[in-house]
Structure 1
Amino acid sequence: MAASDSDDSLYPIAVLIDELRNEDVQLRLNSIKKLSTIALALGVERTRSELIPFLTDTIYDEDEVLLALAEQLGNFTPLVGGQEHVHCLLPPLESLATVEETVVRDKAVESLRKIAGDHSSADLEAHFVPLVKRLAQGDWFTSRTSACGLFSVPYPRVSSTVKAELRTNFRNLCGDDTPMVRRAAAGKMGEFAKVLELEYLKSDLIPLWTNLASDEQDSVRLLAVEACVSIASILPPEDLETLVMPTLKNAAEDKSWRVRYMVADKFTELQMAVGPEITKKELVPAFQGLLKDCEAEVRAAAANKVKEFCENLPEDIREATIMTSILPCVKDLVSDANQHVKSALASVIMGLSPILGKDNTVEHLLPLFLLMLKDECAEVRLNIISNLDCVNQVIGIHQLSQSLLPAIVELAEDTKWRVRLAIIEYMPLLAGQLGVEFFDEKLNSLCMSWLVDHVYAIREAATNNLKKLVEKFGAEWAQSTILPKVVGMAQDPNYLHRMTTLFCINVLADVCGNETTMKVLLPVVVKLAADAVPNVRFNVAKTIQKIGSQFDATTINNQCKPCLEKLQSDQDYDVKYYAQEAMSVLCDAA
């Protein structure tokens, strides 16, 4: 269909039809993304009477195009005339909510939920609720899964008769023959529970939830665990023990590790929902069971919740419960066979120090920290070092240095270079937590020793480490602490160490400032231009090229260029090449 020149009123629709029939998916996608512009050109009346019916009749496209259409329609309320006419958007979105592709259906449901708020209560009952019922009673499971996400939206704003119909339809979906529908119902049960009256929550929804929590499909049961958080947060405390806890305890011991994993992952949310009394009586034993679970994924999820669970314990039993029930499990996890479990624990275990206090930390936690600092997995060590400040605040830097520093130094001098490399990468973080005075006293010499390591990767990492330390402690600290040692290495008999001096200057010039670079570092570079080793000399040229942009014209002309001119006449081909390249860069900059 082509638009005639004389019929401008049909032009936008005609163009859209042509574009949507084009074989090029990208062209069709672009035309869908222009829908709001087309609707503005048409006006609200023609958008309702022509554009929306056309879109409703042409939902047959690629998933990518349908996804874009579902998203666009969610923003169309003003373009069809506002609240009074918003219901005309329901037919195309209803069709999109039944397609096979999940992401398209989800986006259609999202848009339906969005425009539901634009409906009046009367229009909800007249138009929106019938749509929900049609989807809920559809022949294909796709429409029934989409329906599950729509019940909570109209429910608070409709009459009691319509509410009863919605509850009946939701009950049917919870018992659907298709697992995908039951899964969708379980996934949306929590939000439906939040809008239900308490009497119907108890009489209608909790029996449905109990059934889903014992469904034959573990994918349904694990989503029922999520709903448990919402249900438990709504029910009064006196009903929790009878209505919720039996099902929750079964889930924590479920035969499927995926369900137990979900319980572990949601455990602190469940803890907050059920309150302190039930936590004391029921959740502490359940948490112990999850920490000792036979599946590593479950243990890791539970280990990740240790700190938060302990923080949320009732104050009157907190310390005793941790010491008698939680800490023995934690001690076992420190030497767990699975590195993901240990890593999860290492990320939170330091947070137990403020909860347990100084004496318990020194006696019970420090030995565990030391073990984890020596773990073969780098991530475990990093997670411990990353949280040292938690312990520092409780036991003080003196105690910390006596207990943990020897382990850090031992790792820093490990025979395996990859272990040394890992510690170097953590050093700026550690320095920031321990402070400049402690660092200078205990760790500075260690950082400098890495500059002369026999492994190049260590020397390279050590130079980058210096830059990060200067960024943390400042240029003045660098001048008094770092630069004298770097400059002194220029006299080292080993040419590799003299080259490391140049590498250090390359990275430190950026953070030490122009004046320090010009007065302290440049003379060292110029002096090394006369080095006996060609590798040192051509690295001089590369260093001048790198730091030359920081200098003024006088310094470049009086110091840099004469040095490079001398290197340009060097007997070594590589030295001449890099000197010429550096000279070219300096001349261009000038």
Structure 2
Amino acid sequence: MAGADGDDSLYPIAVLIDELRNEDVQLRLNSIKKLSTIALALGVERTRTELLPFLTDTIYDEDEVLLALAEQLGNFTMLVGGPEYVHCLLPPLESLATVEETVVRDKAVESLRKISQEHSPVDLEVHFEPLVKRLASGDWFTSRTSACGLFSVCYPRVSSTVKAEIRQHFRTLCSDDTPMVRRAAASKLGEFAKVLELEYVKSDIISLFTALASDEQDSVRLLAVEACVSIATLLPQEDLETLVMPTLRQAAEDKSWRVRYMVADKFSELQKAVGPEITKNDLVPAFQNLLKDCEAEVRAAAANKVKEFCENLPEDNREQIIMTHILPCWHDLNLSLVIRLVRLAIIEYMPLLAGQLGVEFFDEKLNTLCMAWLIDHVYAIREAATCNLMKLVEKFGAEWAQNTIVPKVLGMANDPNYLHRMTTLFCINALSKACGQEITTKQMLPVVLKMSNDQVANVRFNVAKSLQKIGPILDSNALQTEVKPVLEKLASDTDMDVKYFAQEAISVLALA
């Protein structure tokens, strides 16, 4: 045979059989990975009549080999003769969808979903839908979990009679005795709801959602919460309060912290799905409770949604809700645990919050927090806090900055920690333009010049970079009489980085 000398054009099925029976897993895996080449060599008819039956009968291999096979078969449509014969791929994929290993089943379902689109409506009813029924009625929970991922891809393209059967099978799986099956059904509830007619969303999906959200297993209940987002987007506004909100309120107070965590994690999506009126009446109190939850993980998840939640509140009562409901909870948060997890998002939201609450409220309640972020041990937080100060100065003005912010920032120049001294320079870089020439020249520049004598080289080269940054804001007299001498001194520094950045600043500011 020509196949013996490496010519795949006459690749015999017997060789593949020998390779797949070899004890070497890697050899078997390599054989599976070149199935498309083998199929091309065999031709479409032999692929259908010899290769696929062989593969269907020999699915007993290592998980790694089966995973590769499940993936390969999803791309086999043209290799079996096109959409007209795509149903020939169903038997091996059906077998793979029942194996014990989850990743193999998931890949088989993924390939089945893919080739379902290549079936004609007739073939879908004749070949694909019966496969889904067999999986849904299987003795082993593995097949029933796989079936859950296939209902939505065939439902839109079958007759009304078959649709009724599919809905019944899905209802049955939602109340299956095995928790793994109910979990699989709950994970696909939202997806299935999207392809159903509205009348069945109301009559079928809502009852299933309610039942799954009350399941004895918290792993099922939390997946029902995830489905709630999809379901809420499908219903008219007038139905949400009666059909969805009772169950959602129950989930937000669930005895399992994992379910409450899921509610918190999905809160922004839920807020958009239910609209402003229900948000104001129902979600605001629920969000308050999540921010004060007894479990730190739940509080952290809720705190992470504060920025988005506030931004999506209706403008006419946003400020009132924030001040009355959100800030009191925020104040009570365990900052050492929660703010550490989500403070970047909170820092980003601070300028908007400050603008809504006003300067007096900010100075009294939030100023200290903003300044504390400047000395955080995480660089990204210090960087975000610096940018935050610049935005606050743009909102409240240079005079406010001169009285409230600048003195505190400049005071950090004497901090024993050199990282905090460098933060002073970063803040000056960010604030100089917003504060203007006078404040920069009279208050900030002297501090920068003094820091040129710092013992830490990193501070000194950042002095050079700061002088380059604020130079264009200064008048020519300050540049020549104050900045130039300091940069020239730094240009002869013993540290190479200091010399480099000083020389660059002299060049950019044309002080040579």
TM-score, L = length of structure 2: 0.85
Provide the rounded CA distance (Å) in 1 between the counterparts of 2:407 and 2:58: 72
Amino acid in structure 2 at the alignment position of 1:313: L
Aligned to 1:74: 74
The residue type equivalent to 1:409 in the other structure is L
For residue 378 of structure 1, what is the amino acid of its counterpart? H
Give the CA deviation at 1:256: 1.4
CA distance in 2, matches of 1:468, 1:88: 70
User: 1:374 pairs with 355, 372, 375, which one?
Assistant: 372
**Is contact 1:70–1:93 with CA below 8 Å preserved after alignment?**
yes
Deviations 1:376-408 (A, max 9, x none): 643454443344454344324553454333343
* Cα 1:221/1:213, change in 2 over 3 Å: same
Deviation at 1:17, TM superposition (A): 3.3
Q: 1:499 aligns with which of 494, 499, 502?
A: 494
Number of residue pairs the alignment of both structures matches: 501
Instruction: Please list the CA deviations of residues 118-176 of structure 1 after superposition, one character each: whole Å capped at 9, or x if unmatched.
Output: 11111111111111112112222222211111111101111111111111111111111
- The within-5 A match list for 1:352-391 is 353-354=351-352, 357=355, 360-366=357-363, 367-375=365-373, 377-379=376-378, 380-391=381-392
Residues 349, 9 of structure 1: CA spacing in aligned structure 2 closer, same or farther, 3 A cutoff?
closer
- Structure 1 pair 54–322 and aligned structure 2 pair: CA distance change class (3 A): same
The answer to whether the Cα contact below 8 Å between 2:398 and 2:435 also exists between their aligned partners in 1 is no
What is the alpha-carbon distance in structure 2 between the residues aligned to residue 438 and residue 39 of structure 1? 78
1:311–1:355 contact (8 Å) kept in structure 2: no
Aligned-pair identity (%):
62
Range with bigger deviation, 403-412 or 59-68: 403-412
What is the 5 A alignment of 1:131-530?
Answer: 131-333=131-333, 336-351=334-349, 353-354=351-352, 357=355, 360-366=357-363, 367-375=365-373, 377-379=376-378, 380-400=381-401, 402-417=403-418, 419-420=420-421, 423=423, 430=430, 441=441, 452-454=453-455, 456=456, 459-460=457-458, 463=461, 484-489=485-490, 498-500=493-495, 502-506=496-500
Q: Does the 8 Å contact 1:288/1:326 carry over to 2? A: yes
What secondary structure does 1:282 align onto? helix
Deviation at 1:440, TM superposition (A): 5.7
Distance 1:308 1:447 in 2: 38
Q: Deviations over 1:439-481 (max 9, x none)?
A: 9646566566556444x5xx3365378569969999xx9x989
How large is the Cα RMSD of the aligned pairs? 3.6
DSSP 3-state at the match of 2:226:
helix
Q: 1:245 to 1:163 in 2, by over 3 A?
A: same
Larger mean CA deviation between 117-126 and 412-421 belongs to 412-421
Max Rg structure: 1
Partner of 2:41: 41
Distance, in Å, in 2 between the alignment partners of 1:242 and 1:374 is 46
Q: Could you say which structure has the greater relative contact order, defined with CA pairs below 8 angstroms and 6 or more residues apart?
A: 2
Shift of 1:364: 2.3
Residue 285 (structure 1) shift: 0.8
Segments of 5+ residues of structure 1 without an aligned counterpart are 492-497, 521-590
Amino acid at match of 1:99: V
Deviations 1:499-520 (A, max 9, x none): 23x23235677x679x88xx97
Question: What is the distance in 2 between the residues matched to 1:429 and 1:435?
Answer: 11
Give 1:350 shift.
4.5
Q: Distance in 2 between matches of 1:12 and 1:438?
A: 86
One-letter amino acid of the structure 2 residue matched with residue 503 of structure 1: D
CA distance in 2, matches of 1:295, 1:6: 63
The alpha-carbon deviation at position 225 of structure 1 amounts to 0.7
Give, in whole Å, the separation in 2 of the partners of 1:27 and 1:53.
21
CA contact (8 A) 2:412 2:424 kept: no
Partners of 2:29 and 2:65 within 8 A in 1: yes
Distance 2:57 2:400 in 1: 75
The amino acid of 2:358's aligned partner reads T
Note if contact 2:347-2:384 (Cα within 8 Å) is conserved in structure 1.
no
Q: In the TM superposition, what is the alpha-carbon distance from 1:373 to its structure 2 partner?
A: 2.6
- 1:370/1:407 contact within 8 Å kept: no
Q: Aligned partners of 1:353 and 1:489: how far apart in 2?
A: 37
